[in-house]
Amino acid sequence: MENKDFKPVGAVAFFLLMIIVFAFMWFSVYLINLAGGR
């Protein structure tokens, strides 16, 4: 692979997936909190 050809599009896709997982896990606890407990 030529050095300058590299475009990390796969890493961007992975990063977006990770962000979605983050948001999901975070808001699942957030909703417990808004409800005042479990």
Partner 1 sequence: MRIDPFEKFAMIVGGILLGAFILAIAYANFVWGVKVPTCEVVTRPFSKGAFIETAPKTYEVQVVARMWYFDMGTGKNEITIPAGSKVTFFVTSGDVVHGIKIPEKNINIMAIPGVVGRVQTTFERPGEYLMVCHEYCGIGHQGMYAKINVIQ
Partner 2 sequence: MGKIRSLTLWHWYVGFAALFVGLFFGLRQSLARAGIWAKYDYYQGLTLHGVLNALVFTTFFIAGFLYLTTETSLKRPLRSYALAWFGFVVLLAGTVLAAVPILTGRASVLYTFYPPLMAHPSFYIGLTLVVIGSWIAALVVLRTYLAWRRENPEARVPLMFIATATTYIVWFIATIGVAAEVLFLLIPWSLGWVKETNPLLARTLFWYFGHPLVYFWLLPAYLAWYTIMPRIAGGKLYSDPMARLAFMLFILFSIPVGTHHQFADPGIGSNWKALHAFFTFLVAFPSLLTAFNLAASLEYAGKSRGGSGLFGWWAKLPYGEPVFAAFISAMILFIFGGISGIVNASYNLNMVVHNTSFIFGHFHLTVGSAVTLTFMGLTYLILPKLSGRELFGRRLALVQSYTWLIGMLIFSFANMAAGRMGVPRRTDLGLSTYSFPPVVEHLEKVSALGGVILYASSLLFFVVFLGTLFVGRSSKEMSFTLPVTEAYQTEAEAPRFLDNWKVWIGIAVVLIIIAYTPVLKQVLEISPFGSPAYSPSLPVPLPR
The reply on whether position 34 binds partner 1 by CB under 8 A is yes
The reply on whether position 16 binds partner 1 by CB under 8 A is yes
The reply on whether position 22 binds partner 2 by CB under 8 A is yes
- Name the CA dihedral angle for 6, 9, 15, 17, rounded to a multiple of 10 degrees: -150
Place of tokens 């050095």: 3
The reply on whether position 38 binds partner 2 by CB under 8 A is yes
Q: How far apart are CA 20 and CA 5, in angstroms?
A: 28
Which parts of this chain interact with partner 2 (CB under 8 A)?
Answer: 1, 3, 6, 8-15, 18, 21-22, 25-26, 29-30, 32-33, 37-38
